[in-house]
Amino acid sequence: MSTFKNFEEIIAWQKARELCKKVKPVIDSMKYSGDHRFKEQLISSAGSIMDNIAEGFERQGNKEFVQFLYLAKGSCGELRSQVYRF
């Protein structure tokens, strides 16, 4: 496994956390035509990035960690795609 003692030390997780902190206020400030489901999708996909990094790390296996990093990358793509719908 890695030399990290906990997932909070992983720079990618730290960056994902920063992204989450920035996404919600932006979403809250934007005008939506009552599309709360879309708003929740944006928040959820942003949160999935950091959550998948953390979950993969906690499984304590390199193969599973890599698999969850790919899931986090997928969530990044999902969020980027959703942002194009603004």
| Residue 53 lies inside a defined structural domain of this protein | yes
| Residue 76 lies inside a defined structural domain of this protein | yes
| Percent of the chain whose predicted confidence (pLDDT) is above 90 | 65
Identify the CA nearest to 43 among candidates 19, 63, 67, 62.
19
| Residue 1 lies inside a defined structural domain of this protein | no
| Residue 18 lies inside a defined structural domain of this protein | no
Res. 1: pLDDT tops 60: no
What band does 67 get if pLDDT is binned at 50, 70 and 90?
Answer: very high
Q: pTM value?
A: 0.87
| Residue 27 lies inside a defined structural domain of this protein | no
Range of the domain at 68: 34-86
| Residue 13 lies inside a defined structural domain of this protein | no
H-state helical runs in 35-61: 36-58
The residue ranking higher by pLDDT, 33 or 57, is 57
Range with the poorest average pLDDT among 4-13, 30-39, 40-49, 74-83: 30-39
What's the structural domain count of the chain? 1
Q: Compute how many other C-beta atoms are within 10 angstroms of the C-beta atom of residue 19.
A: 15
| Residue 23 lies inside a defined structural domain of this protein | no
State the pLDDT at residue 66: 96
| Residue 44 lies inside a defined structural domain of this protein | yes
